Structure 1
């Protein structure tokens, strides 16, 4: 006798699995792809499925879409995970597809986490996608532009799936509570809208996570007239202090660092703090933030506020001395300062201009009067002769073009153009004053 009946097995299946949509009519979210007249809806209606890559975060319906498309196209669906599959598994899938084709059956190969396939595996797959033996549906949470071979990518349309909105997640949760056949409907669990919103927000756009949280919370319901009640305290206890974590090697990591940088550059301290908190609470390394702030201090603030760079370095030092909790505040201190500070990219532009100029003029010589003269031979060759020690000059400035320190054989350039912002206005005035001293000395 089978100890595990099919109904018992169904009861043991996770709620998210039991509630997986069987058709687009049950599918929630991704209206830009599955709404009336949209690309995937047209594929389902026509039964003509093309190779594609579904790119989006976890729990937004990539696997479900593949199953619906295969059903609509009347095709065999072969599921492989790129984490587990090797070249042998891919070859076996190809052989099965050949056998199916002989029976006039099409094969759709669903490759979960396609970004994990190495180059040789992708190369082994390419000719069979190209010939049409296999219709490929790849699913990935990472940018396929970086992770999928260009040859394979060119033969598959990329569709971008978005995180589910709060309203979409609320629909998912309500369906789970009302569905008597596959969901929790038989238990008559009552939950106020505010309680469901807490679950939806904690899920972070992930339907699978939302249903997992609901399923766990359902173990802590209170008896109520005619059924059970899910209260706010139980839900908050289930959620605990979960942070929305992310893959540190994935796009979200670098997207958050980019958001921090651009918020500081745009002088938005509150936004910068928001993205920093999201980054660090999600498991990001605070030192990655302070490294980015160090770059911002020169690239985006520069001499408009010369205090910026030393302040960031001090915050870095404070973090290493104090640890995460107290040190994190020092990093926030530096980020707010940089965001509020006047901005100038004049140093950034000057440095890039100098680098570009040197690439175009790589062989100029240092003027003789600027050369080092540690030996008698070098002195006899004139090294250092004519150099004017600035501190012995009026205004501590050797005025005149004859001592401009520029190589004679290349045209003089003005790389650094200070702005009117912050301390750079004073720098601009100083440079203009010194140019006037040069003109007076040469006249």
Structure 2
């Protein structure tokens, strides 16, 4: 990992650039597949499953028998872990439920908002080199709490036409039973447009490769909402002389192994710690089965040595990381200075992996600097806030003249008249 010592503020932007993601060359392919799925439904999906996942399927839907079989083959310890994670995720998201507060803004004018679940949501779960059964819990649990009527899950099958058993166990645990053996762009198209088998949804959630991300962005232009724009996974760790170099290196590598285009950033207020972490990374790398992927990721990564913790936080906020680990002695003080981050992990024992799996927070987070404007998936992601108002005759008279004047000065006479006729009616009684 390259170490950069005390860079000037003017150089931060260039130092903190992510690997460039150019999806322009993908767009033609992605649009072609999506249009095919829109026009030809299941037939197109069958063909692309054979082409891209290399499998000839008997059916797109996962059966109850397949789910029951998965429950039997998944190790009991893993099932217990999935249940523990689900319980914690459920507790955290249950606490986000909104109470209905009615406000009298003027005498006789009562306003409030009501949370209404999105009726139909689609969840995309990658199933390739890393079958993300944890993401099933992260996406389906708040959807169930929100009260979404229809939860559709798409995930690619293996060469034998089977879905990873842990994905099916996680889906069963979270209460999802509409599961389809569809991967990639064709899965996004099936959920966005609907096919003979797959219901059309109103919002699509979930991570994926560049093709999936490009497909989500394309369908979001006119057909369906998506959770957020996203890029490769990333972590920023802030360390000082008190940090544990072994822990810090492990946190950095936990993200580096995600993919060759992932990025990790260490910001240290101690040169000695930066050197220790660098050596520790080399030691731990040799033990990783996904070493080659992590090595490629580390080529996109660096360590910045900062003058002090205040500067370290400024650099982090400029970067706006998906995951931020504050592994310093003064983590409580630094936590108050966090402005841009997806999810924050405080203290030496709060590893990023805890949030990825079982602490309860959601691991579907904004990447690639989008944490400056987006938050991660939460209960509100599945809910629309609808505003209501009730106005009595007293309320009409308390705000009526203001409404008339404002409408008149915007030259919207019909708007003015809608209030005028009511005021006249009340005055004539």
TM-score between the two structures when normalised by the length of structure 2: 0.26
Relative contact order (C-alpha < 8 Å, sep 6+): which is higher?
A: 2
**Structure with greater Cα Rg:** 1
Higher strand share: 2
Q: Which has the larger share of helix?
A: 1
